[in-house]
Amino acid sequence: MTVDARPAPTTFYREIDRNRRRSWLLVAAVAAVLAALGGAIGQASGFGWGGVVFALVVATGMSVGTYFAGDALVMATSGAREIERAAPPDRYRQLMNVVEEMRLAGGLPPPRVWVINDSAPNAFATGRDPKHASVAVTTGLLDKLDREELQGVIGHEMSHIGNLDIRFTLLVGVLVGSIALLADWFLRFTFWGGGRRSSNDRGGGGGAGALLFFVALALAIVAPIIGRLVQAAVSRSRESLADATAVELTRNPVGLARALRVISDDREVLEVANRATQHLYIVNPIKSFEERAKSLWDTHPPIGERIRALEAIAGRMGQSEERRP
């Protein structure tokens, strides 16, 4: 009897499947919180499901504006300058070649390419779909990464585009926004006495009506916090998914692992980054007080955790990290 000593199939496919399942489970969790909150508020206030529908309509309307105009706003606030694909300056020729390599590997349309004049190395992707996508990198990234590391970063950003992460996070944003709108409305409704009147009218001041009202009130306070926590967890899951998908495009987990280490170890401050855009970047540009800590509010997995996952994949692929000189 012979034993098959061949290594297990490359694990980036498993990582991709695992992170996709986790993302959809998190979306289901947000939807369940919204349904529970909407049902409790509807019964406690006497408005039924009308309030939930109204909150969804308002949150969707706000998100549609972000969906179509959000990328232009992000580029404007970041001070990004678009690079002409037909005749790029010599300094950006390698960048354009790498973008072309990665988009062909992913079977994606050519994205618009932007450069941010900042010495801090970082990058992000945005856009509502692969046909309307943009990739932005800082000049610091181009100066401080070699070609393999740049491939890893661009592969990560093209993965965000191919995985429809902008659309996915928009869905989560609509659900979380609806939870916040419903909770805020019910708390204001309760403050002005509407909740107490509704409870008394429906149940004659009975214990069941009072219990339902207090359940709705508790959910209105807790649900937005849960929604934000799940939203951060979705963001972390999509970052891990993009790391794994980048390996599928580059077949080189070592390059991305090295790039993440260079970016995270760099002490330069990305001046154009802010709290509204930090989740877009490949590495959170806003340094935390304790970078080794893992917070439930973080939009990115810890860098060490991401690098270890890539190194584990590299080991199974028979690769090893070569240190820079």
**Which listed residue (15, 157, 248, 321) is catalytic?**
157
Q: How large is the average pLDDT for residues 12-38?
A: 75
Which structure tokens are listed for 144? 């401080």
**pLDDT of 191 strictly over 80:** no
From CA 286, how far away is CA 241, in angstroms rounded? 22
**pLDDT of 84 strictly over 70:** yes
**pLDDT of 15 strictly over 70:** no
Q: Is 157 a catalytic residue?
A: yes
Instruction: Give the model's pLDDT for residue 53.
Output: 73
**Residue partners of 60: CB distance under 8 A and separation at least 6:** 174
Phi and psi torsions of 298, nearest 5°: -65, 140
Virtual CA dihedral for 223, 228, 231, 233, nearest 10 degrees? -100
pLDDT confidence bin for 153, thresholds 50/70/90: very high
* Residue 278 per-residue DSSP state: G
Name the β-bridge partners of 126.
134
293 or 227: whose pLDDT is higher?
227
Instruction: Give the model's pLDDT for residue 66.
Output: 64
**Residue partners of 83: CB distance under 8 A and separation at least 6:** 89, 92, 95, 96, 113, 114, 115
**Residue partners of 130: CB distance under 8 A and separation at least 6:** 108, 109, 111, 161, 162, 164
Instruction: Give the model's pLDDT for residue 220.
Output: 81
Helix (H) or strand (E) holding 82: strand 80-83
Please state the three-class secondary structure of 84-141 as a single string: CCCCCCHHHHHHHHHHHHHHHHHCCCCCEEEEECCCCCCEEEEECCHHHEEEEEEHHH
Highest mean pLDDT among 54-58, 77-81, 215-219: 77-81
pTM of the model: 0.78
Q: Which residue carries 């939930």 as its tokens?
A: 52
234 or 60: whose pLDDT is higher?
234
* Beta strands at 123-127 and 112-116: parallel, antiparallel or unpaired: unpaired
Highest mean pLDDT among 48-52, 68-72, 128-132: 128-132
285 or 176: whose pLDDT is higher?
285
Q: How large is the average pLDDT for residues 300-315?
A: 91
